[in-house]
A and B are shown apart, each in its own frame.
Chain A
């Protein structure tokens, strides 16, 4: 049973870069797509972007200028960098697996809250 675990700082200052890592256990990162999704407190879900294990990426157009997603197959991890953050980027950040590029998200990590504040 594959499991995903997000990790990274819970507090980031405005204008700085948010960095998170998702560690995949119980299965290989190969042959799947991997996404980041966020949820501001009390609000809905927003897809941030995805990466294939080969490194090919696809980003939400509304965030594309600030997002970088990378994969490290040797560590079975993928990561998210979001630059120039503001309070509007405060959210629970989830990582999730996809079987194909436009497939459903399953499973999801437990999520990690990132607060943007000085």
Chain B
């Protein structure tokens, strides 16, 4: 079965740029989405189709996908961006999620 791998944790200082990676075999051939989940809340879509932002998601969130790695980039990271982030793709009609990355803003 297809697997997506994320680093368990990423730390960033306020105002700096955070990059969260998601790796999988030939991932660039798939569309990748990203979800933000804050404690005790449901996941929220922040990026779809590799780099598109849903309405209401701040411009500081961006995404890219090439080769074997997709990247979620948060520019000018704010304290309220501290959360878990999950990547997701579809493989042969099954949705696959990465294990999640805890973003700490300190």
Shortest distance between the CB of A10 and any CB in chain B (Å): 16
Tally of contact residues, A, Cβ under 8 A:
23
**Interchain CB contact under 8 A, B95 and A35:** yes
> In the bound complex, do residue A47 and residue B44 qualify as a contact, i.e. CB atoms below 8 Å apart?
no
Q: Apart from A60-B94, A61-B94, what 17 extra A-B contacts exist at CB < 8 Å? A: A35-B95, A37-B95, A44-B86, A45-B97, A47-B95, A47-B96, A47-B97, A62-B1, A94-B42, A101-B93, A102-B31, A102-B90, A102-B95, A103-B48, A104-B33, A106-B54, A111-B42
Residues from 73 to 106 in B contacting A, C-beta threshold 8 Å: 86, 88, 90, 93-100
Across the two chains, which residue of chain A brings its CB closest to B96?
Answer: A47
Assess the A44–B98 pair: CB atoms within 8 A: yes
Q: Count how many chain B residues have C-beta atoms less than 8 Å from C-beta atoms of the other chain.
A: 22
**Residue-by-residue, is A24-59 near B (CB-CB < 8 Å gives 1, otherwise 0)?**
000000000001010000001111001000000010
**Separation of A27 and B1 alpha carbons in the complex (Å):** 35
What separation, in Å, do the CA atoms of A102 and B90 have in the docked complex? Answer: 6
Give the shortest distance, in Å, between B87 (CB) and chain A (any CB).
Answer: 10
Q: Quick one: which of A46, A60, A94, A106 contacts B48, CB cutoff 8 A?
A: A106
A15 within 8 A of B: no
Contacts of B49 in A (CB 8 A): 104
15 A-B residue pairings within 8 Å (CB atoms): A44-B98, A44-B100, A45-B35, A45-B43, A47-B96, A58-B94, A60-B94, A62-B1, A94-B42, A102-B93, A102-B95, A104-B49, A105-B35, A106-B54, A108-B43
Chain B residues packing against A (C-beta within 8 Å): 1, 31, 33, 35, 42-45, 48-49, 54, 86, 88, 90, 93-100
DSSP majority for the A interface? loop
Summed over the interface, the residue pairs from A and B with CB atoms below 8 Å come to a total of 55
A residues in contact (CB < 8 Å) with B: 35, 37, 44-47, 50, 58, 60-62, 94, 101-111
Are the CB atoms of B86 and A61 closer together than 8 Å? Answer: no
